[in-house]
Structure 1
Amino acid sequence: MTEITEDKELLSYVDSFQDMQNFLLNEENIIDIDVIEKVILFIREGTKNRRKKNFKTYFENIEMNIDTIKDWGNILEKLIDAIKHQEINSIKELKDHLILQGMLGFNRKYLDTFSISGRQKYLNWLNNQIGDLKNKLLEAYRNNSLNSELVGEFVTEFKKYLNGRLLLKIVNIDTKQIIGVPIHLNKNGDVEMLPHPFLDSEWELSRSIDTLKDKERIKVGDIVAAYFTDNKSERYMHTLLYVDFDGAEILPQTLQQALSEFVDNEYIEQYMEKIRKIFGIDDKNDEQIATLILQKLLDISSDIRQKLLEERDEIRKEKEKLLIEEKELDEKRREWYRIMKKIDEMIEIEEQTTPNKNETYTVIEYEPEQFISHLQSLFYYNDDQHLIYKEEIIKTFIYSLQANILTLLAGPSGTGKSSIVQALGRAVENVEVRMIPVQSSWTDTQDLLGYFHPIDKTFVPTPFMEALAEAAQEQNQSKLFLICLDEMNLAHIEYYFSEILSAREQKTPVLHLYPKRYLEIAKFILSDERASVEQRKSAEELIRLYPPVFKIPENVRFVGTLNMDHTVKPLSPKVIDRSFIFEVGHLKSDEKEKIKKKLKTLTGKIKMDYETFTSPFLDDTAVNDTVEKIEEISKLFEDYPNASLNSRGIKHVRNFLKYAKNKEEHEELIDYIILGKILPRIEIKRSEFDKIYNKVLNELSPYSRSYQRLKVMLEAKHTVTFW
């Protein structure tokens, strides 16, 4: 449905569907009639016999019964009459009927398809709805006349926009202060930072640590919901908000955490069994159950409420005081809705999309000499996007992965940097791809790996750490795991990725997740009959998946995509030294046509496992001559700091060349090695570079790509640099 997600006519219903969802989810029975009429219009346009192409495409893809959807139009007409006549009971009954018939699921499918991101919605509100106020604030700030009246006006509007509470991610706690940044959690569970309303900077909200009542309650990495008021301090008035960190609610970031808020730990497993029975869930897979329960919770109505009542009474007979008293059921139902909304925003934080085990495809035998050309064809024919890459790009990418070098794909947006990683997973058997979007707020290893919770004795992993743990499982040792950090340089790589970079230099690369003594505690909990089911499960997970000293699996390859614009952080020499960097650019039409003409019509997956993928074709002797040639080119820059290859870089080059099919291929690869391992290291003053100008150009002249790239670099007036 990608082609219709930007259709202006379909997008025009977003606000109405958002209001309809709020109406269906909340206890209040108030909704604007214009909203209902807009939804009715959408239904009528999508279900009539002769439909516009955009509506026809959308309704054919949502896989819902058209007759049922038509009936909703009639029910919504009755709802309008009930609202006009203020018939509260009728409004409630019609609302419940719509939910029971699946209207909420229909509503959610639309919003999942067309809703803009929370960050964009915030920017639209900021620039359009309160644009004049924003300009007044900026002008007052520049004139040093920012006052409490203006700030108070903004805070009043901001509270209306947020419905009272603000989400923050805690990014730093030191001896003096606690700092949080305002965020929105989008529908995929990703954190989107909200920029400062009128300053070109991050919006950091802080408070003195000494004034907090409970200094240990909130930790770095927590996501909290907090009330706020206007900041009256002249020194900090530009931050606009004064946040109540004491009253802030720490939000759950996993389904287990969310459930534990209203179900005692010892009863969670039993309660889940009853939930499965109530909602008819057969699959015992935890992730699928989490998703299905979430979907079913959206359909809660008076009928479902009665089932919950019956099951609650049955559980009470089996376990005393399992659920709250009957008189609190309405309050608990509201709690379900609240938890459901949190899960709806954050469930993707803990979930990983796994391949369909029942997937069927054509198996293509692995032919070493044809491997790259087969990949080129599969990238095109396996995907609706018809991805086209030059063979040299694919070859460089594959050899870098095989040599286990940190592989960085640089280039402008839309050139297929992320797509080539995902395409490899679709084209080769036993290749698992995990895409990890990097956030600009990442500042340390905890943001990448997760953290240990000393009170609960559990390790709270990130999707990145979950991918490492998955790769480490015995049943996955024959698979290649590609962990791709998307837009890797949105944050400083050497800050959050430093532990990985250091670990990869060790003979046995390991990560230190938490003190070893907690592992002994976990072993004790497993053997303690008094421990709850949840405690045992957490202990088992700690031992099996997240030991204190975690060995990075050999079958993992790290990839990063880089966007080269003013919004990203520059690469440090440390990162460049440990990487193979190659640029993915836009292909011209004639280049694409030339490639398409030679593609072989091919779909399916190449038969391969991790051992085959990492088996080199050449030995050290066969690559020595080429390595020496590259060393000579590197020595041209040995008088300049960090510019020439060190022993690590030479090792990378040697391992890279071993995957070439023959020595004849080496001459072509020299060009890409210069481009990916030598030129990115250069940062030399133009006046200094002029001393070696002619010699360098002469040496690089046989290598067209590197030569042309250097010519571009030499256009700089002050510093010759790749970036």
Structure 2
Amino acid sequence: MIKQLRSWWKDTEIPNLIGRKKVDFSMFRDGTHIPVEFHPDFLEANQGQQPSLGEGRKVKLVHEDQNYEATLFKIDQVSAGREALQLRYNGNQTLKNLLIETFSHSYSYIMQERTNQQADDAKRPQVVVPEDQAEYIDFFATGVPFEYRLEFITFKSKPNVWWVNQGTTIQAEKEEGILWAPLLNSQGRKLYHWEMMREVKQGDIILHYSNKAIRYVSQVTDAAVEAPKPGSMANTNWQEDGRLVRTEYVELIPPIMLQQFNQQIMQVNLTQGPLHSGGGVNQGYLFRFSRQGLQVLQSLTAEVIWPNFTILDQDEAASNTENAHEVIPILPPTDSTIITLLHQIQSHIRRKGFFFPEHLIENFYLSLKTKPFVILAGISGTGKTRLVKLFAEAFGATGNNGQFTLIPVRPDWSDPADLLGYKDLSGRFKPGPLTEVLVEARKPENGHKPYFICMDEMNLARVEHYFSDLLSVLETQDWQEGKIQTQDLISSTLLDTPEDQVKFGSLGIPENVFLIGTVNMDETTHPFSKKVLDRANKLEFNYINLQQYPDFNVQVETSDSSDVAELNHLFLRSDYLQLVDAYDTNKELVVRTTERLVKINALLEDIHAHVGFRVRDAICFYMIYNERYKLMSEEEAFDWQLLQKILPRIQGSHSSVRRVLLKLMKEALGTGSGVTVNIEDLMDNDASPLYLKWAAGQTPPTAKHPQSARKLAFMLRRLEEDGFTSYWLS
């Protein structure tokens, strides 16, 4: 089993290994902080002994029969609300000199970067050595408490891999066999993506990106030298002085489109890499890539003939896995396999004897992918909870292994403590049912597993009362070191004991947790506020075909679902958190979708039901995923979003509500339905000829957006018959 947290790593299959520490600046200065997740490993190595709080124990570090003294301190880390271990040797200059000499590559890199930062120590950001150049110290138990054997893993000079963004000049640069970047911008300042040219050396590999694809790969023949701007760039407004690298271009056939690999490459830890958190390409010229990233790229492009200089030899490829100098990342499936995997999930559900309407599984998947909170609404007995359970089961997530949890909501729940937990009279924290799942999900060994939480009968209590903290924390999702992190869900003021602080402290919503609520809309339940509606897709289960019987003659796909069960959480995790993450690679679709929403918002403003940026972004993400995975047509996908994100906001009894429903119905029917919607006539007259076309036994007209048209017909009928309408009354 692999355990990894920040700069520490451990493979439990390696005998006596306490942990592997990536060399950073603190290792050369005074020692290292030991994450709380690795405290049990040091406790075991020390045979159950540990320093007292606020005190230290002398430690012997053994390397090649030489002994070096250090101290293991246990401190009260007040800011984090927990105890911490620190290994210090700041007074042992002999050991520090050994580390500087042994890890000269890391030391030179770190000191150069710190010099470039030109800031006081307190203000300098931490320098992170790129993964393909990293060096490590392995700590091994010796059988003697507080004595550790050290093994050093040093960097061996190998060709670096770079990524260059080239626009209209790519063909001219290819013909000349060069890269060129200016020394300074027009304001006389250095830019880091130009300064990278200084580090390019002979034999390095360069990936050439232009117009949404990697089109060439090259090998450097001459390292960078200062040179004036070449003629191929005469039309640019760059300054005349710059650096030039000579390299031999090889065309990649076919070119590798960004969407083929960006999500997988994002999982590789690339410091100052070319991709931003949303999978788009950063602005700039030259960026660090990595040999590991190159391997991932090659594994995704079997149809491309890569030149020999880009292929890792077998010894090196083996060392990357067996010796684990780099941790092989957990990768999401490729876009082209998503539809196949969803078909396998559907097959699993059918094998269990359940059938759901066309595209419902795709819609459910896209909704979870857009945001990890989805609401399933409908009358009782329609299979809402069963869908969640079977969908999770297809991933191997069951109640037995703790990856599927059903939480029945009680009518008396009135605040978040009912769900998250509370502090008892003795001062101990009593976790709620949801907190217990979050604690398991955030453990390093479980980070790749999807965890499904089904909030059953979610609106028996007022959702805004007991679920408010969850809703607020979900809005704090942000990218940190390639993972989605949120703010803390449980306040540290609730945690008095060290044990509680270790177990529950700094607990947010892990990126591998997916929340699904089931709701019934009747006289026993509570309606939703717009705060809830804005944050979730609402899937309806109201249209039931009771004449659907088991058919044992139907051929169900018999492919084993084990491939699905082995999928990690990245199959469902969001790739975009803000629109900027997706805009540059999906501009046309985003603009097209937003223009539709602008027209709809103009209608909704009359009844104060118009949407904001949160809903716009969510709908755009849904549409982007659908287009990437080729699951439905664009009109089908927008129909689901109109139904699930727009119509739930509409309710009331005024004539303005009637006008909005009629105008939306006209748009949903489209021009090919054969139904004429005269807004002014229907405002003053009986509209039953329009909505009765959806009555039982009738064949509804062909509609551009059939799901939304059917819902709008029911909402119009309710308005005429009852004088009031709502999405939730059907």
TM range (shorter): 0.3 to 0.5
If the length of structure 1 is used for normalisation, what is the TM-score?
A: 0.43
If the length of structure 2 is used for normalisation, what is the TM-score?
A: 0.43
Q: Give the structure with the larger strand fraction.
A: 2
Q: Give the structure with the larger helix fraction.
A: 1
